[in-house]
Amino acid sequence: MDNRTNLDDYLAGLGISDADESAPPPPAPDASQPAVPALEAAHEDPRAVLERFLRGLTSRIDPDLGVTVREAEDALEAEITGENAARLAGRDGRTLGAIEVIAYTVLAKQAGRNDLRVRVDVGGFRKRQADTLAKLAERLAVQVAKSGEPHELQPMPPAERRVIHIALKEHPDVTSESIGEGASRRLVIKPRHG
């Protein structure tokens, strides 16, 4: 039977709750040691923080899932692998997006790093999604080049718009730009003039 009654109980052990029941109580301060400011003590290695959080999360969902975290140029990239890993992506990658938002929050809280981006992939979902978007971009580029008319896509997240921008960056016949604000920001593919 599940005895968890509030959010802190669900988050305990993941490194994002003040009620982390799996951690031993903090040791009593030693008067002979100089006091370390709490702000400095709270900052941990971002890669270790992210890996610990994702391992804690995945172990509660499916203990057979594996987690690897690597440092990229501008972000920490994590891959969750296992037989059922792709199920974590959720509908249209929404669950995966939520995991990234929470992971970013954990990183900011535990490692004091709100300047690092976090990218999480499960079962190759992000790669398949990027391939699909790049193919869509190419098809639409041909259509726009033939018709001479711009094509406006539905609103999409920044990461998806970025894939299309990159796919069309060097295209000789079309260009792309993002328009709109916030959640309604969308991409327009236009003919490249002269």
pTM for this one?
0.65
Nearest to 69 by CA among 82, 59, 87, 81: 81
pLDDT single digits (tens) 156-172: 988 899 999 999 999 99
Q: How many CB atoms lie within 10 A of CB 129?
A: 18
CA 108, 112, 118, 122 torsion-angle sign: negative
Whole-number pLDDT of residue 9 = 56
Residues 130-140, mean pLDDT to the nearest whole number: 95
Judged against a pLDDT cut of 80, whether residue 4 lies above it is answered with: no
Whole-number pLDDT of residue 35 = 43
Judged against a pLDDT cut of 70, whether residue 75 lies above it is answered with: yes
Distance separating alpha carbons of residues 116 and 107, to the nearest angstrom: 8
Residues 146-162, mean pLDDT to the nearest whole number: 92
Residues linked to residue 117 through DSSP beta bridges, in sequence order: 75
Whole-number pLDDT of residue 38 = 39
Residues 43-48, mean pLDDT to the nearest whole number: 84
User: pLDDT-based confidence at 15, cuts 50/70/90?
Assistant: low
Whole-number pLDDT of residue 57 = 92
Whole-number pLDDT of residue 11 = 54
pLDDT single digits (tens) 106-133: 888 887 777 888 899 998 898 899 999 9
Whole-number pLDDT of residue 29 = 45
